[in-house]
Chain A
Amino acid sequence: GNSVTQMEGPVTLSEEAFLTINCTYTATGYPSLFWYVQYPGEGLQLLLKATKADDKGSNKGFEATYRKETTSFHLEKGSVQVSDSAVYFCALSGASGGSYIPTFGRGTSLIVHP
């Protein structure tokens, strides 16, 4: 079946540091890939997505590139801010019995210190 593996958290960084959160996946066919973010006290919301190999999704300074050869979709940001502190979920949408049910990773908590 489909699965998503994310790096364990929490990830703790100082403001303006470079961020990478690793995500790898297992899926049949050609899934779409997503990053969702959950800020404290809020629901999960879409951060970015990529729908085919070599696509780069980007939003709010975050980027992730769909790498089919390594089955990865790592999230990066060049300079994090305190306001980026949140839990980040990698997800894929791939075929499952005739429909596409999104599969999520465990989430990675990011803590950014001033």
Chain B
Amino acid sequence: GAGVSQSPSNKVTEKGKDVELRCDPISGHTALYWYRQRLGQGLEFLIYFQGNSAPDKSGLPSDRFSAERTGESVSTLTIQRTQQEDSAVYLCASSSLGGQLNSPLHFGNGTRLTVT
């Protein structure tokens, strides 16, 4: 079946512009996660959704970052007034057993964001 889909795959934007990143999880997966991966770094947790609510948004680095999820499906991550340090690969993952100890994550291919 279809996996996790992210769009766009690449985004180049000018400093100060807003960007919107989209994630389509696997159908029926209730849990959705956003991570960020800077060059040479590990995966940095940003936010977790269970259904349409976000019980854990502790990883969002500043108030320029926000995310929403609708219909227990698509999620968008919005970065306002982008800065060069926002350049990274943004990964989305979904899971059928969200927030549970043993549930593996299914990842999309990521969006590579470059802020010039």
A interface residues with partner B (beta carbon < 8 Å):
4, 31-32, 34, 36, 41-46, 49, 51, 89, 93-94, 96-107
Contact = CB atoms under 8 A, between A and B. Distances in A.
Contacts of A45: 106-107
B116 interface: no
Interface in B84-116: 91, 93, 98-110
Contacts of A98: 55
A99 B33 CA distance: 12
Contact of B105 (A46, A97, A107): A46
Interface residues of B, number: 29
A53 to B, nearest CB: 14
7 contacts: A43-B109, A43-B110, A93-B102, A96-B56, A99-B98, A99-B99, A100-B103
B104 A101 contact: no
B101 A97 contact: no
Contacts of B100: 100
Nearest to A94: B101
B40 interface: yes
Nearest to B4: A43
Contacts of A102: 33, 45, 105
Contact of B102 (A42, A51, A101, A104): A51
A104 B56 contact: no
B42 interface: yes
A49 B103 CA distance: 10
Nearest to A29: B101
A45 B107 CA distance: 7
Nearest to B41: A106
